[in-house]
């Protein structure tokens, strides 16, 4: 049975002699699909109970493959405790499928009414927005033969290309990585003199507009080690640009451009 107190019928306060259970917060949770952190939603009692309280949660969305329910949807608040946590985990699917809203709703309790004061209306549903972090990208556009434009950009011999210094020619082939399931990797093979080691893997992080290379510290032109500080790609001319320290006292830039 409910008692209703109000001040000129504004801001009503509901109370229930048996108690009630509700969401701790109804603010929308925003999370990127590649987040390594679980999503936690707390359900709280008005006060500790002498017996366990069973809680049922309903999870709905347009695509349940976008998340994993870790805790299950049947939860228990143990005697003497005042809360329980529902846990779910976003799934990083590497698909360009947009953001998705997931509704997490407290549907019933075995022994108590739900919502603020048990009115079954407020603080029973929370929305989780999972943001897509996969931007449109076609790895097949990057398969082919690439020129190499490279130059020392700082320190001794600034402005000198290694190809000129060594009398070499740099040209390379990019092919799909046969082990890649994400559609983001290509494997490099030298067609001229060795510029980077054969088998170097380029990974495109399409939403960030950058490219990483594995291994991260490369031996360039059999000359010295090169660590990449910045990298980017341009789909207008299918070019990749990277720059970073070359050895101990130089900086170096390379640009790969598709023929």
Name the token pair of 104.
């997490």
- pLDDT at residue 225, as a whole number: 81
Q: pLDDT tens-digit profile of 80-104?
A: 999 999 999 999 987 888 899 999 9
Q: What is the CA radius of gyration of the chain?
A: 29
Q: What is the pLDDT of residue 11?
A: 38
Using CA atoms, how far apart are residues 110 and 56, in angstroms rounded to an integer? 8
User: Between these two residues, 156 and 3, which has the higher pLDDT value?
Assistant: 156
Write down the pLDDT at residue 219.
72
For residue 13, the model assigns a pLDDT of 41
Host H or E run for residue 39:
strand 39-45
How does DSSP classify residue 135?
-
Count CA atoms closer than 13 A to 234's CA, side-chain side.
10
> Measuring CA to CA, how many Å separate 11 from each of 8, 17, 46, 122, 247?
9, 20, 19, 13, 69
Q: Using one digit for the tens of pLDDT, what is the confidence trace for 7-66?
A: 443 434 444 557 899 999 999 999 989 888 999 999 999 999 999 999 999 999 999 999
How much is the pLDDT for 51?
A: 92
Q: What is the DSSP-derived secondary structure letter of residue 8?
A: T
The C-alpha atoms of residue 243 and residue 19 are separated, in whole angstroms, by 63
- The predicted-structure confidence for 167-194, as pLDDT tens digits, reads as follows 999 999 999 999 998 889 999 999 999 9
Q: For each of the domains in the chain, give its residue range(s) and CATH number, in order of start.
A: 2-131 (2.60.40.2030), 139-258 (2.40.128)
pTM (whole model) above 0.75: no
């Amino acid at each position: 049975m409910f008692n209703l107190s109000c001040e000129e019928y504004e801001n009503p306060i509901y109370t229930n002699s048996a108690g009630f259970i509700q969401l701790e917060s109804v603010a929308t949770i925003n999370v990127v699909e590649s987040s390594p952190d679980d999503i936690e939603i707390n359900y709280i009692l008005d006060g500790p109970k002498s017996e366990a309280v069973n809680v049922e949660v309903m999870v709905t969305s347009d695509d349940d493959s976008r998340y994993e329910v870790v805790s299950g949807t049947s939860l228990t608040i143990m005697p003497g405790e005042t809360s329980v946590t529902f846990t779910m985990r976003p799934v990083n699917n590497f698909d360009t499928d947009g953001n998705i809203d997931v509704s997490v709703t407290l549907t019933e309790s075995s022994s108590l009414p739900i919502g603020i004061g048990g009115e079954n209306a407020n603080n029973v549903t929370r929305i989780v927005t999972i943001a897509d972090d996969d931007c449109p990208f076609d790895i097949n556009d990057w398969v082919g033969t690439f020129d190499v434009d490279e130059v020392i950009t700082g320190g001794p011999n600034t402005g000198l290309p290694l190809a000129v210094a060594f009398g070499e020619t740099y040209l390379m082939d990019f092919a799909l990585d046969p082990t890649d399931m994400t559609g983001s990797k290509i494997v490099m093979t030298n067609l001229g003199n060795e510029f980077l080691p054969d088998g170097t893997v380029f990974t495109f992080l399409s939403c960030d507009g950058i490219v990483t290379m594995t291994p991260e510290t490369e031996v360039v032109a059999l000359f010295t080690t090169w660590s990449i500080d910045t990298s980017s790609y341009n789909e207008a001319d299918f070019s990749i640009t990277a720059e970073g320290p070359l050895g101990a006292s130089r900086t170096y830039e390379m640009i790969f451009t598709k023929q």
